Amino acid sequence: MGVTSAYLLARSGHEVVLLERRSGTGLETSFANGSLLTPSMAEPWNSPGCWRVLLSSIGRSDAALQVRIRALPGLAGWGVSFLRNSAVSSYQRSALSNLRLALYSSQVLRELRESLSLEYGREARGTLRLFRSPEMFARADLAARRLESEGLAHRSLSGADVSALEPALAPLASQLAGAIHYPGDETGNAHRFCTAMTEHARREGVEFRLDTVVTSIETRAGQVTGLICGSERLVGDKYVVAAGSYSTPLLRTAGVELPVRPAKGYSISFPRAYAQPPLTTPVVDDERHAVVVPLEGGLRIAGAAEFVGYNLSLDPIRIRKLLEWVREVIPQERFDASEARPWCGLRPMSADGVPIIGPTHLPNLLVNAGHGHLGWTLVAGSCQLLADIVCGGTPAVDADLFSLTRFAAARRMA
């Protein structure tokens, strides 16, 4: 979000300085994420009835979606809003907002890819969403049919159809109630994308200040007057916070309460695939909150969601569970444990599952955060929307759907 926002703002004629606390770009949640560009996964995680799942996860290390007891104090107000937005009407509205932004983002990304000759390991084989439960398959199939009119193409498949489309899944086919293939989904290496966009941003004149930590945002008379970076004070006309989960504590120093909290996810990357035939189509398993993605000659398995605050320690139970799951999906694949590269990152989850893009109550302070599991999917569209807002243009999507003010409006209605 940060580097793409910087590029698009510079391309629009602004002088841009990007501040990054790490030694390079794309080293946080973009580094080894699930690699999926999936408009098909537009649904928020706070689905109707999610409270039962969260409640049952407390104290269980093996739950796909989990809340740790020690994280509860930091989730108090956010959690109430998260559950309130799990009502059917809110959930459906949020899913539709995400889908429209995702489809727009696919268009903007295609334009960037073509105009800049971007290389980031893109593959366009769609995704396969697998279902063992007939009830879950029926619900997902109905939801997919409803979204056809919005431009989300899909094919409903039997187990035999799955084997024909993806022979590597043949051993699993008899266990499936059905599957849905979304041909418009793609994959790509988000870290490679960040690296490429960094070079293009530099060519557009963006100044990168790496290893620079913003400790607070200085305000006076209802405006941001500067950024404090240790002993240094930096001044601009407008300020954009696109710091993922860390946007929340940073904005708090300016008196802005951002309803975004971190949800830790895991991935394991293997540099090569051994199975014959190899898996060629990404697989999504809603029941286990996990995906397996062929990526540049290897495989990446990603999943789980832990609300544990800003804890980035690797839980060996989570890693083991991901390996157990992927062996269920492709049992013929041989995994060399010595080649496994485990990783975890923090997804910035907004309280309604929809990103927050645009101004805060301080008119020269804007935010581009809260994309949750859809950050890679929504990056191009979100950053173009932000650039349109900053430049005073007419956005191609309804900016009000992604405004921070929607949460204040919801509180007034409640």
Q: What is the pLDDT along the chain (414 residues), one digit of tens a residue?
A: 999 999 999 999 999 999 999 999 999 999 999 999 999 999 998 888 776 666 665 656 666 666 665 666 667 788 889 888 889 999 999 999 999 999 999 999 999 999 999 999 999 999 999 999 999 999 999 999 989 999 999 999 999 999 999 999 999 999 999 999 999 999 999 999 999 999 999 999 999 999 999 999 999 999 999 999 999 999 999 999 999 999 999 999 999 999 999 999 999 999 988 888 899 999 999 888 899 999 988 999 999 888 889 999 999 999 999 999 999 899 988 888 889 999 999 999 999 999 999 999 999 999 999 999 999 999 999 999 999 999 999 999 999 999 999 998 545 434
Q: Name the strands in the sheet holding 232-234, side by side, starting at the edge strand that comes first in the sequence.
A: 216-220, 223-229, 232-234
Q: Does residue 201 lie within any of the structural domains?
A: yes
Q: Does residue 148 lie within any of the structural domains?
A: no
Q: Does residue 46 lie within any of the structural domains?
A: yes
183 preceded by a cis bond (ω within 30 of 0): no
Q: Does residue 337 lie within any of the structural domains?
A: yes
Q: Does residue 307 lie within any of the structural domains?
A: yes
pLDDT on residue 54: 63
CA angle 282, 288, 289 (to 5 degrees): 65
Q: How many domains are there within the chain?
A: 1
pLDDT on residue 56: 60
Q: Does residue 407 lie within any of the structural domains?
A: yes
Domain that holds residue 115: 2-126+184-413
Q: Judge contact between 308 and 287, C-beta under 8 A.
A: no
List the one residue out of 148, 369, 106 whose CA is nearest residue 262: 369
The CATH number of residue 296's host domain is 3.50.50.60
d(CA 92, CA 86): 9
Neighbours of 251 (CB within 10 A): 22
- DSSP states of 263-282: EEEEEEEES----SSPP-S-
pLDDT on residue 297: 85
Neighbours of 222 (CB within 10 A): 9
d(CA 304, CA 282): 17
Q: Does residue 161 lie within any of the structural domains?
A: no
Query: What are the structure tokens assigned to 405, written together?
Result: 């003010």
Q: Does residue 263 lie within any of the structural domains?
A: yes
Neighbours of 214 (CB within 10 A): 21
Neighbours of 183 (CB within 10 A): 13
Residues forming beta bridges with residue 344, ordered by sequence position: 266
- Which residue do the tokens 């839980």 mark? 315
pLDDT on residue 391: 96
d(CA 28, CA 238): 24
d(CA 44, CA 386): 21
d(CA 127, CA 38): 8
Q: Are strands 65-67 and 232-234 parallel, antiparallel or unpaired?
A: unpaired
pLDDT on residue 64: 63
